[in-house]
């Protein structure tokens, strides 16, 4: 199980700022995170894409500059999700 | 040798432009400014299928190796970089926008997104052949004031800090023109929903 | 003139002489106001060889053509002078109310020269200016001085120095409206050296706007943009500037313990989220600002004279939280809030003060300095700052910043500064572009002269690779030029998170009637940047000064997401000089100066 850490206003929408989530890819992890915490869905997803202003990092590196949502996730990984503190890049 | 990340940027935007029907097989062009260098697509290369060797790096001011292979539009790109704050240029052939450019001196979007982002897109007339210094200067001067400009009957030039950004303006313009075209089919009077929309005409 | 008030007030404190004259229209067109106008006036007023704390230095307070028009965040103003900390050209700018109020007295700029024989303050009203005795407030702290001199909401506004400025600490700030600061580079010391305690302003003349209809449209558009931007409508109002602390730490770019590490293991404890949860009383906003990023926070450490409205104090901002937090290894947010309040009351730059403490902590831990300071000693922040403001004991050693301190104890490389100005809260090893920005910034290391956080971390407008070196200079130059233009308008850089430069250019045209395309506005910024460069070259600075502390160039980050990186300054700097149109020694070429209408200098 990978660890997801939520920041800023996302914390109000989830049961805990730090959550263990199953998933093989970044996409799986985000999907299952939002299933367990439905309040997050609308602020993270825009259809099948991650919203423009949501920032995702695995091990401190921007997901979108790597393999995007297809990035494979291991149990040791920490995935950080930041709400709009700016942003805009497409995490596709 | 072009940096891998830079190549990926060109490849992705080029493919997106082709898949969105915004260029024909060999049409359109992309470039970025890095310091006093310009990276631009090679003449004749296909935007939808860019390979690393399809990108040419040359000087902002003067020519150096590889320039003979660069796009014939290099002069225009250089002039834009010297006249405006642009760090990236997307030139494409958005079909509906081109159709509107044939009958209008400016395109004023009626949809929300393009009103918000673009306000107004001027159409300039290519009196001289594509790539002439006069045309380049006229286009660059207009781009110092507007982030996207139409060349009548030809296509759009958009500028931004990154290729992403310039692509954003380009696809927003085309989407807006398609909406405008559809309203012609519906052919009913508009209900204005935007505050102070008269201001866009003066933009 | 429209937009500009059209007048300059010129006060010589040595002679007690007050005059005013018209603002030169050509100068206004080329340099706008604020930082640009200040740099241009400083070029003529203060030449090489003038000691910054001598009567020959000047203080130039300048507003811009948009100031007080009611445009979003048109409350700001700047001070320009030769910096006593760095010896470079300096400007610092601030929000609140004072800038708007000063403009309404009918002036674009105030030049203060000379040195008063005894402490004075200046009072400026519509009817004119007076120099008045300040014996009754000399020695008072900032909050007390502001109250004594009659601060009254947006009717009468007070700008002053505190004890740190009076004692000519080279990291002293000038404070306005009680808790706002013109902080960096030590302008408070220059004011202290002039025996000038305060400037009080009370005006009624709103600037003229030429095209009212277009101006209203621009106001409407800006309001819409600021509401739609998630940054200016949600993130900043909810968490303030400290909202970025967690993400900067997360990527491995939060300098920790004097830049020995790039991540602070206790970042969460001092984050914007924790501030909002535990200490926030309410938000506040500057004049004509719809964003409202100001925090008012409260802890039981702050009471009595230190506290203001509702027992709280403004701040702390992100940079301050970092400076007394991660930089000093401190995880006690209440102690950081207290340190911030003390700096505001003494009139100190929080970035330089915190970074100097961090430097002293490392000097002590390395056995070079004999003091009790250690990383993590939250309990020593408050007493050490009080001593610093009073130049007492160890405080006297710290009062002139980290570079003078580290040099004295034989380790100048432990000062985390550029050109003597302490670096803000971003580790250039984890953000390559930010390193180039710090190295080339004209007033020394600064995050407000273009900030790469947007492009390298937040993805504003789009994300670029923070470790990329090739081509980075283009982005840095564009942002440096744009920020110089914004500092000359003067509006708040946070407005720019929602409102792009093209809106500013059109607003400027509507207000003044002088046509500025977006490209013209950015060119104003480029002109200002080159003028500042010429000023520093005239002072004897060279390309050797465009550098970073050796730690950032030679010691790779030991752990975390930036592990293994140093800042690759050299190739970026070469590219930067070429792209700026400068020669390989960083001197602007004649052709570039002609192009920018700076040829006559």
* CATH code of the domain in which B36 resides: 3.40.225.10
As a whole number, the mean pLDDT across chain C is 96
- Per-residue pLDDT, averaged over A16-33, amounts to 93
Whether B197 is in a domain gets the answer no
- Per-residue pLDDT, averaged over C225-253, amounts to 89
Cβ-Cβ contacts under 8 Å, A90 against chain B: 164
pLDDT single digits (tens) C110-133: 999 999 999 999 999 998 999 999
Cβ-Cβ contacts under 8 Å, A80 against chain C: 247, 250
The end-to-end CA distance of chain B, in Å, is 42
pLDDT single digits (tens) C278-294: 999 888 999 999 999 88
pLDDT single digits (tens) A52-65: 778 999 999 999 88
pLDDT single digits (tens) B21-39: 999 999 999 999 999 999 9
Most confident of B1-10, C114-123, C270-279, C294-303: C114-123
Whether B194 is in a domain gets the answer no
| Angle value at C-alpha C351, between C587 and C429, nearest 5 degrees | 60
Say whether A55 and C235 touch across the interface (CB within 8 A). Answer: no
Whether B175 is in a domain gets the answer yes
Say whether C235 and A8 touch across the interface (CB within 8 A). Answer: yes
A84-88, C20-24, C194-198: least confident range: A84-88
d(CA A69, CA A55): 12
pLDDT at site B19:
97
d(CA C284, CA C601): 43
d(CA C195, CA C181): 19
Nearest to B5 among C465, C519, C579 (CB): C465
Residue ranges of domains in chain C, CATH in brackets: 7-202 (3.60.9.10), 242-426 (1.10.569.10), 428-497+517-601 (1.10.599.10)
d(CA C576, CA C573): 5
- Domain hosting A57: range is 2-82
pLDDT at site A91:
23
pLDDT at site A11:
92
| Angle value at C-alpha C79, between C78 and C82, nearest 5 degrees | 140
Whether A90 is in a domain gets the answer no
Whether A92 is in a domain gets the answer no
Query: Residue C79: in which H helix or E strand, if any?
Result: strand C77-82
Residues near C398 by beta carbon (within 8 Å), at least 6 away in sequence: C353, C356, C357, C360, C384, C387, C388, C405
Q: Read out DSSP for B76-96?
A: HHHHHHHHS--SEEEEE--HH
pLDDT at site B128:
63
Token pair belonging to C128: 């004119």
pLDDT single digits (tens) B98-157: 999 999 999 999 999 999 999 999 999 876 666 788 899 999 999 999 999 999 999 999
Query: Residue C94: in which H helix or E strand, if any?
Result: strand C89-94
pLDDT at site B1:
67
Asked if residue C93 has pLDDT above 60, the reply is: yes
Whether A91 is in a domain gets the answer no
Query: Residue C10: in which H helix or E strand, if any?
Result: strand C7-12
Token pair belonging to B17: 């432009």
Residues C86 and C400 sit within 8 Å (Cβ to Cβ): no
Asked if residue C534 has pLDDT above 90, the reply is: yes
Q: How confident is the model at residue A92 (pLDDT cuts 50, 70, 90)?
A: very low
pLDDT at site B65:
64
What DSSP designation does C24 have? P
Percent of chain C predicted with pLDDT > 70: 99
d(CA B85, CA C520): 9
Candidates C463, C428, C469; CA nearest to C571 is: C469
**Closest CA of chain C from A36, distance in Å:** 23
The number of domains in chain A is 1
**Closest CA of chain B from C513, distance in Å:** 14
Cβ-Cβ contacts under 8 Å, C471 against chain B: 3, 6, 32, 34-35, 37
Q: What is the CATH number of the domain that holds A48?
A: 3.10.20.30
Q: How confident is the model at residue B68 (pLDDT cuts 50, 70, 90)?
A: confident
d(CA C441, CA C443): 6
As a whole number, the mean pLDDT across chain A is 86
**DSSP reduced 3-state for C5:** coil
For the beta carbon of residue C439, count every other beta carbon within 10 angstroms: 24
Cβ-Cβ contacts under 8 Å, C579 against chain B: 35-36
Mode of pairing for the β-strands spanning B106-107 and B121-124: antiparallel
Long-range Cβ pairs for the range C436-439 (8 Å, 24+): C436/C472, C436/C473, C436/C476, C436/C569, C436/C572, C436/C573, C436/C576, C437/C476, C437/C479, C437/C480, C438/C548, C439/C546, C439/C547, C439/C548, C439/C569, C439/C573
pLDDT at site C305:
60
> C36 versus B135: which is more confidently predicted?
C36
pLDDT single digits (tens) C511-532: 999 999 999 999 999 999 999 9
**DSSP reduced 3-state for C178:** coil
- Per-residue pLDDT, averaged over C405-423, amounts to 98
pLDDT at site C228:
86
**DSSP reduced 3-state for A81:** strand
Query: Residue C227: in which H helix or E strand, if any?
Result: helix C212-228
Candidates C353, C439, C365, C445; CA nearest to C400 is: C353
Reply yes or no: is the peptide bond before residue C502 cis, omega within 30 of 0: no
Residues near C211 by beta carbon (within 8 Å), at least 6 away in sequence: C510, C511, C513
- Which one of C476, C477, C517 would you mutate to disrupt binding with B, by most B Cβ within 10 Å of its Cβ? C517
pLDDT at site C238:
85
Asked if residue C484 has pLDDT above 90, the reply is: yes
Q: How confident is the model at residue C243 (pLDDT cuts 50, 70, 90)?
A: confident
Dump strand ranges (E) for C293-426. 294-297, 313-314, 417-418, 421-422
Q: How confident is the model at residue C339 (pLDDT cuts 50, 70, 90)?
A: very high
Nearest to B162 among C462, C501, C576 (CB): C462
**DSSP reduced 3-state for A18:** strand
Whether A17 is in a domain gets the answer yes
Whether B123 is in a domain gets the answer yes
> C255 versus B69: which is more confidently predicted?
C255
Cβ-Cβ contacts under 8 Å, A59 against chain C: 561
Cβ-Cβ contacts under 8 Å, C455 against chain B: 161
Nearest CA in chain B to C505: B145
d(CA A36, CA A6): 14
Cβ-Cβ contacts under 8 Å, B87 against chain C: 474-475, 478
Beta bridge partners of C313: C297
Nearest to B35 among C224, C464, C578 (CB): C578
d(CA B70, CA B85): 22
Whether B203 is in a domain gets the answer no
A41-50, B40-49, C436-445: least confident range: A41-50
pLDDT at site C308:
67
d(CA B14, CA B29): 8
Whether B200 is in a domain gets the answer no
pLDDT at site C304:
65
Whether B202 is in a domain gets the answer no
Whether A48 is in a domain gets the answer yes
Say whether C459 and A88 touch across the interface (CB within 8 A). Answer: yes
**Closest CA of chain A from B116, distance in Å:** 16
Asked if residue C306 has pLDDT above 80, the reply is: no
Say whether C244 and A85 touch across the interface (CB within 8 A). Answer: yes
Asked if residue C428 has pLDDT above 70, the reply is: yes
As a whole number, the mean pLDDT across chain B is 93
Percent of chain C predicted with pLDDT > 90: 90
Asked if residue C356 has pLDDT above 60, the reply is: yes
pLDDT at site B179:
98
pLDDT at site A89:
26
Residues C303 and C322 sit within 8 Å (Cβ to Cβ): no
Asked if residue A12 has pLDDT above 60, the reply is: yes
A22-31, C30-39, C366-375: least confident range: A22-31
- Which one of C462, C464, C478, C526 would you mutate to disrupt binding with B, by most B Cβ within 10 Å of its Cβ? C462
pLDDT at site C90:
98
pLDDT single digits (tens) C132-180: 999 999 999 999 999 999 999 999 999 999 999 999 999 999 999 999 9
Q: How confident is the model at residue B73 (pLDDT cuts 50, 70, 90)?
A: confident
> B65 versus A81: which is more confidently predicted?
A81
> C578 versus A46: which is more confidently predicted?
C578
Residues near C489 by beta carbon (within 8 Å), at least 6 away in sequence: C32, C33, C34, C64, C65, C66, C67, C504, C508
pLDDT at site A30:
93
Whether A88 is in a domain gets the answer no
Cβ-Cβ contacts under 8 Å, A18 against chain C: none
Chain A residues bordering chain C (beta-carbon distance below 8 Å): 7-9, 11, 53, 55, 57, 59-62, 64-65, 80, 82-89
Whether B192 is in a domain gets the answer no
**Closest CA of chain B from A19, distance in Å:** 33
pLDDT at site A86:
44
- Domain hosting B144: range is 4-187
């Amino acid at each position: 199980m990978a660890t997801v850490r939520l920041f800023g206003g996302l914390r109000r929408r989830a049961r805990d700022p730090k959550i263990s989530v199953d998933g093989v890819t970044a996409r799986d992890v985000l999907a299952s995170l939002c299933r367990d915490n439905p309040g997050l869905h609308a602020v993270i997803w825009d259809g099948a894409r991650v919203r423009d202003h949501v920032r995702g990092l695995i091990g401190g590196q921007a997901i979108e500059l790597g393999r995007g949502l297809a990035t494979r996730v291991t149990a040791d990984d920490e995935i950080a999700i930041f709400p709009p503190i700016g942003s805009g890049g497409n995490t596709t | 040798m072009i940096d891998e990340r830079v190549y990926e940027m060109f490849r992705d935007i080029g493919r997106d432009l082709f898949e969105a029907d915004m260029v024909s097989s060999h049409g359109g062009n992309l470039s970025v400014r890095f310091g006093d260098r310009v990276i631009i697509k090679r003449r004749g290369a296909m935007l939808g299928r860019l390979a690393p060797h399809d990108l040419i790096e040359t000087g902002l001011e003067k020519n150096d190796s590889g320039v003979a292979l660069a796009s014939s539009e290099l002069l225009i790109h250089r002039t834009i970089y010297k006249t405006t704050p642009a760090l990236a240029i997307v030139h494409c052939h958005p079909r509906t926008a081109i159709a509107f450019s044939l009958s209008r001196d400016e395109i004023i979007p009626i949809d929300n997104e393009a009103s918000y982002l673009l306000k107004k897109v001027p159409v300039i007339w290519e009196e001289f052949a594509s790539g002439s210094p006069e045309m380049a200067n006229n286009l660059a001067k207009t781009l110092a004031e507007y982030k996207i400009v139409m060349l009548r009957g030809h296509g759009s030039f958009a500028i931004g800090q990154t290729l992403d950004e310039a692509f954003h303006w380009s696809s927003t313009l085309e989407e807006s023109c398609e909406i405008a075209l559809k309203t012609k089919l519906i052919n009913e009077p508009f209900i204005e929903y935007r505050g102070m929309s008269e201001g866009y005409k003066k933009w | 003139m429209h937009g500009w008030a059209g007048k300059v007030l010129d006060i010589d404190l040595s002679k007690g002489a007050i005059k005013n004259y018209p603002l030169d229209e050509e100068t206004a067109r080329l340099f706008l106001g604020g930082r640009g106008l200040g740099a241009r006036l400083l070029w003529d007023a203060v030449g090489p060889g003038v000691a910054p704390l001598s009567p020959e230095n000047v203080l130039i307070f300048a507003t811009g053509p948009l100031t007080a028009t009611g445009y979003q965040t048109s409350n700001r103003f700047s001070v320009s002078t030769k910096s006593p900390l760095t010896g470079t050209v300096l400007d610092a700018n601030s929000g609140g109310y004072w800038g708007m109020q000063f403009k309404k007295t009918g002036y674009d700029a105030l030049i203060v020269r000379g040195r008063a024989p005894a402490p004075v303050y200046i009072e400026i009203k519509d009817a004119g200016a007076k120099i008045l005795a300040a014996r009754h407030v000399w020695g008072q702290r900032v909050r007390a001085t502001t109250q004594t001199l009659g601060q009254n909401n947006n009717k009468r506004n007070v700008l002053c120095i505190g004890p740190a400025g009076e004692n000519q600490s080279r990291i002293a700030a000038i404070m306005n409206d009680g808790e706002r600061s013109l902080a960096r580079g030590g302008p408070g010391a220059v004011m202290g050296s002039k025996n000038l305690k305060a400037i009080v302003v009370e005006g009624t003349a709103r600037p003229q706007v030429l095209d009212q209809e277009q101006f209203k449209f621009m106001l409407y558009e800006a309001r819409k943009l600021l509401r739609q931007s998630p940054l200016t409508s949600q993130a900043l109002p909810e968490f303030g500037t400290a909202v970025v602390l967690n993400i900067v730490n997360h990527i491995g770019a939060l300098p920790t313990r004097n830049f020995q590490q790039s991540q602070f293991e206790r970042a969460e404890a001092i984050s914007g989220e924790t501030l909002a949860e535990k200490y926030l009383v309410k938000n506040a906003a500057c004049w004509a600002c719809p964003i409202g990023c100001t925090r008012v926070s409260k802890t039981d450490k702050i009471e009595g004279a230190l506290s203001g409205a509702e027992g709280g104090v403004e701040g702390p901002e992100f940079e301050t939280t970092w400076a007394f937090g991660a930089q000093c290894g401190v995880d006690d947010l209440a102690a950081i809030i207290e340190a911030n309040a003390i700096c505001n009351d003494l009139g100190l730059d929080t970035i330089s003060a915190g970074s100097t403490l961090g430097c002293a902590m490392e000097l002590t831990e390395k056995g070079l300095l004999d003091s009790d300071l250690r990383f993590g000693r939250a309990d020593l922040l408050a007493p050490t700052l009080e001593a610093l403001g009073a130049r007492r004991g160890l405080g006297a050693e710290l009062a002139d910043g980290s570079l003078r301190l580290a040099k004295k104890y034989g380790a100048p490389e432990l000062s985390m500064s550029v050109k003597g100005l302490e670096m803000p809260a971003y580790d250039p090893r984890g953000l390559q572009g930010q390193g180039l920005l710090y190295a080339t910034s004209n007033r020394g290391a600064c995050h407000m002269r273009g900030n790469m956080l947007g492009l390298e971390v937040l993805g504003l407008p789009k994300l670029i690779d923070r470790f990329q070196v090739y081509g980075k200079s283009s982005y840095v130059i564009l942002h440096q030029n744009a920020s110089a233009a914004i500092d000359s308008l003067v509006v708040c850089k946070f407005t720019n998170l929602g409102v792009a430069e093209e809106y500013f250019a059109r607003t400027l045209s509507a207000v003044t009637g002088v046509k500025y395309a977006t490209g013209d506005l950015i060119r104003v910024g480029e002109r200002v940047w080159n003028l500042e460069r010429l000023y520093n070259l005239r002072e004897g600075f060279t390309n050797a000064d465009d550098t970073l502390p050796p730690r950032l160039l030679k010691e790779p980050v030991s752990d975390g997401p930036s592990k293994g990186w140093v800042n690759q300054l050299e190739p970026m700097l070469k590219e930067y000089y070429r792209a700026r149109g400068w020669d390989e020694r960083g001197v602007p070429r004649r052709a570039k100066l002609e192009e920018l209408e700076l040829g006559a200098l």
